Amino acid sequence: MKVVGLTGGIATGKSTVSKHLSSSLHIPIVDADLIARSVVEKGQPALKQIAATFGPDVILPDGTLNREKLGSLVFKDAEARKKLNRITHPHIRMEMLRQLLWVFLSGSRVLVMDTPLLLESGINKWVHVVVVVYCPDEIQKDRLMKRDNSTAESASQRIASQMPIENKRKLADIVIDNSGRVEDTRDQVNQVFARITPSVISTALAWCVFAGPAAFVWVVLTNGQPIPNSAGQNPLIGVLVALLGNGGNGQQQQSPLLAGILSFLGVDVNAQNQQQQQQPVPTQQQPEVQQVGQAPVSYAGAVGSNSQPQSAPPAAISLQPLQPITPPQQQQVPHTTQNTTPTQSELSSMSTAMARLWSLDTNRMSVGAPGSNASVILDTQGGKRVYENGDVASRPLFAHVDAGIFKDRPTYSAFYGLLDNYVAEAGTAETFSENEKSEMRRFVDACCETDVMTYLHSYLVAKNVSPPELNKFKNQLWSIWFDTYKRVIAGDSSAFEHCFVGETRNGEVVGFHNWINFFVQEKKGKVNYLGYILPRRRGPASGTEHVLSLQLEWNGQVKPVSTMFIGVSPEFELALYTMVFLASDRDEESAVLDETEVRIKMHRFTNRDGARIGSCYPESS
Q: Which residues are catalytic?
A: 498, 513, 559
**Alpha-carbon gap, residue 613 to 604, rounded angstroms:** 5
**From CA 566, how far away is CA 514, in angstroms rounded?**
8
CA 8/CA 159 separation, integer angstroms: 11
| Surface-to-core class of residue 484, CB atoms within 10 Å of its CB (0-12 exposed, 13-18 middle, 19+ buried) | middle
Residue 550: strand pairing partners = 532, 562
Q: 485 — phi, psi (to 5°)? A: -145, 180
Distance spanning both ends of the chain, measured CA to CA:
66
Rounded to whole angstroms, how far apart are CA atoms 36 and 93? 9
The three-state secondary structure class of 582 is helix
Nearest to 185 by CA among 30, 19, 319, 29: 19
Burial annotation 292-323 (CB, 10 A radius, 16+ → b, else e): beeeebebbbbbbbeeebeebeebbbbebeee
Q: How many CB atoms lie within 10 A of CB 95?
A: 17
- Chain-centroid distance of CA 439 in Å reads 4
CA dist., res. 544 & res. 368, Å (int): 4
Return the H-helix or E-strand segment holding 3. strand 2-8
CA pseudo-torsion sign 432, 435, 441, 444: negative
Q: For the chain, how are helix, strand and coil distributed in percent, rounded to 5?
A: 40, 20, 40
Largest Cα separation within the chain, whole Å, is 79
- As a whole number of angstroms, the distance between CA 73 and CA 68 comes to 9
- Residues 614, 485 contacting (CB under 8 angstroms): no
Region class of 371: left (phi > 0), else alpha (psi between -120 and 50), else beta: left
Q: CA-to-CA distance for 39 and 434, rounded, in angstroms?
A: 22
Task: Count the alpha carbons within 13 Å of 578 in the hemisphere toward its beta carbon.
Answer: 33
Contact (CB, 8 A) for 597 and 354: no
Selection from 141, 119, 139, 120 nearest residue 130 by Cα? 119
Q: How many CA atoms lie within 13 A of 467 on its CB side?
A: 9
